[in-house]
Amino acid sequence: PSNQECLMRIHNPSGSALSLKFDYFNVHPSDSVQVFDGTSTSGLRLHPGNGFSGSAVPKITLTASSGTMLVRFTTDALHNSKGWHAEYSADCPVLRPGEGALASNRDT
């Protein structure tokens, strides 16, 4: 879409970290995708410079340790490209027997 600011908030109810990885990327150089750790653009910036743009798929996995991530996609009024696709995952905490995990003994 032209001349837009799209904000996408991803939240892990458990509070554990979230990770985001791009698998397709084609954003006009005058547009950008920015990623922040937290609920707003004042959170820790996880992207380089002014954000990701161009046709090279970012080769890094972005991790929000707060458990909340904000993805901001901004476009100008003049240029369009195909866009981007990313997948996110919630990093699971370590499970310990007795704390939501089952222990098994093969001998029984």
pTM: 0.81
> What's the order of all strands across the beta sheet hosting 83-90?
62-64, 18-26, 83-90
72-91 per-position pLDDT tens digit: 999 998 888 999 999 999 86
What residues does 53 pair with on adjacent strands?
none
> What are 23's two structure tokens?
């698998």
User: Which top CATH class is 5-86?
Assistant: mainly beta
| Contact assessment for residue 35 and residue 46, using Cβ atoms and an 8 Å cutoff | yes
What residues does 32 pair with on adjacent strands?
74
**Mean pLDDT to the nearest integer, 43-69:** 95
Kindly list the domain boundaries of the chain, sorted by start residue. Answer: 5-86
